[in-house]
């Protein structure tokens, strides 16, 4: 009986605005799918247990940790990775600009996840307060720059987006 079940899954989803169809092994993790199959290396693996947020992506507009999802779970849904975060003119996104202006990036490993988490918040709450920003970023760890510059970068982006 078992042999009849196909381990290959025909995955349909949207990635950074483009529809894609891929045959994948059903037990492919979402993070592997993004990094290895799609070659989108902006999404990082940090802890592999949902603590650090380096692997965050937007799924149907909401932040999720791709290290704890399986690729089959995005079937029929819209995925946006850091590569899909852009400004209206196709250049840098306002959050990317304020991160640069505030010096909120050092080694950069946590930055894609922080931008994704911040963007998820600003879509919901365009003029988010500092307190809201702090709460939203509880799932993102940065081990070099620290948090003050990150918080002020998101605060500045929020003030512009109001």
Partner 1 sequence: MPDIIVKPPNLKELWKLLPGLPSARRYLAGGTDIVTADNAGAEHSECWIDISGIPELLGIKETAGSVFIGSGVKIAEIAASKAARRWCPALTAAIPHFASPSLRNMATLGGNAANASPCADGVCALISEGAYVLLATKGGRRRLPLKDIFLGPKRTTLKKDELITGFEVPKRPHAGAYLKLGPRSYFGISKAAVAVAAELSGGAVKKARVALGSVAPVPLYAAKTSAWLAGRKLSAPVIEEACELVKTEVSPITDTRSEAAYRREMCGVLLGRALNSLR
Among 95, 117, 154, 158, binds partner 1 (CB under 8 A): 117
Residue 153 sits in the site that holds partner 1 (CB under 8 A): no
| Strand partners of residue 45 | none
Residue 59 sits in the site that holds partner 1 (CB under 8 A): yes
Residue 67 sits in the site that holds partner 1 (CB under 8 A): yes
Stretch in the footprint of partner 1 (CB under 8 A) among 53-61, 79-87, 102-110, 152-160: 53-61
Nearest-angstrom CA–CA distance, 38 and 144: 29
Query: Going edge to edge, which strands form the sheet with 78-80?
Result: 18-25, 8-15, 78-80, 56-59, 62-65
Nearest-angstrom CA–CA distance, 79 and 94: 20
Interactions with partner 1, residue window 19-38 (CB under 8 A): 26-29
Among 20, 107, 130, 135, binds partner 1 (CB under 8 A): 135
CB 77 within 8 A of CB 69: no
Stretch in the footprint of partner 1 (CB under 8 A) among 4-12, 84-92, 95-103, 146-154: 4-12
CB 31 within 8 A of CB 67: yes
Residues with Cβ within 8 Å of 61's Cβ and at least 6 positions away in sequence, in order, are: 78, 80, 120, 123
Count the site residues for partner 1 by CB under 8 A: 34
**DSSP-derived pairing of the beta strands 56-59 and 78-80:** antiparallel
Minimum CB separation of residue 71 from partner 1 in Å reads: 9
Which residues of the chain form contacts with partner 1 (CB under 8 A)?
A: 1-2, 4-5, 7, 9, 26-29, 48-50, 53, 56, 59, 62-65, 67-70, 72-73, 75, 117, 120-121, 135-136, 138-139
């Amino acid at each position: 009986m078992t042999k009849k079940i196909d381990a290959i899954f025909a995955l349909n989803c949207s990635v950074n605005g483009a529809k894609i169809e891929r045959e994948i092994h059903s037990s492919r993790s979402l993070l592997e799918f993004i990094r290895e199959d799609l070659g989108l290396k902006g999404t990082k693996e940090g802890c592999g247990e949902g603590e650090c947020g380096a692997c965050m992506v937007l799924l149907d507009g909401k932040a999720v940790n791709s290290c704890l999802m399986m690729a089959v779970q995005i079937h029929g849904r819209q995925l946006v990775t850091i590569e899909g975060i852009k400004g209206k003119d196709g250049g840098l996104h306002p959050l990317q600009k304020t991160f640069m202006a505030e010096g909120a990036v050092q080694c950069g490993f946590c930055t894609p996840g922080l931008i994704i988490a911040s963007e998820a918040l600003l879509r919901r709450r365009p003029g988010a307060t500092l307190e809201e920003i702090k709460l939203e970023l509880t799932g993102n760890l940065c081990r070099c720059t620290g948090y003050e510059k990150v918080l002020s970068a998101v605060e500045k982006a929020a003030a512009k987006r109001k």
